[in-house]
A = this chain, B = another copy of it.
Amino acid sequence: MNITPTTHEKLAAAAELLAALAYPVRLKIIWLLAEQGQQSVNHLAEQLAMDQSAISHQLRILRQAKLVITHRDGRQIFYQVTDQHVVHIIRDAVLHANE
């Protein structure tokens, strides 16, 4: 009934996932990807009116958390949401935060 080492680790992993989501710019990125499908880095940067570099740094965080995956086409790199589960968590958070 206490926090076992296993629970501890699972919660730590969950905290890491949540931390990757817990930033407006990153939520917006995932939102755009969920709504519009895959997007190039520049396209995201334009839509969010941010520096290419800043976006790239944020995309790295999403990548490392496996929230997005990429593929290259020519010199562009396209990002897409890894799976719908992520979108589901965000939708829940949006609903709860705005109820």
Contacts and interface: CB of A to CB of B under 8 A. Distances in A.
Contact of A92 (B31, B47, B92): B92
A12 interface: yes
A57 interface: no
Nearest to A20: B22
A2 B90 contact: no
Count of chain copies: 2
Interface in A1-53: 1-3, 7-8, 10-19, 21-24, 26-28, 31-32, 35-36, 47-48
Given A1-B35, A3-B48, A10-B98, 19 more contacts: A1-B36, A2-B47, A3-B32, A10-B94, A10-B97, A11-B24, A11-B28, A11-B94, A13-B94, A13-B97, A14-B27, A14-B98, A15-B26, A17-B93, A18-B18, A18-B27, A85-B92, A89-B96, A92-B92
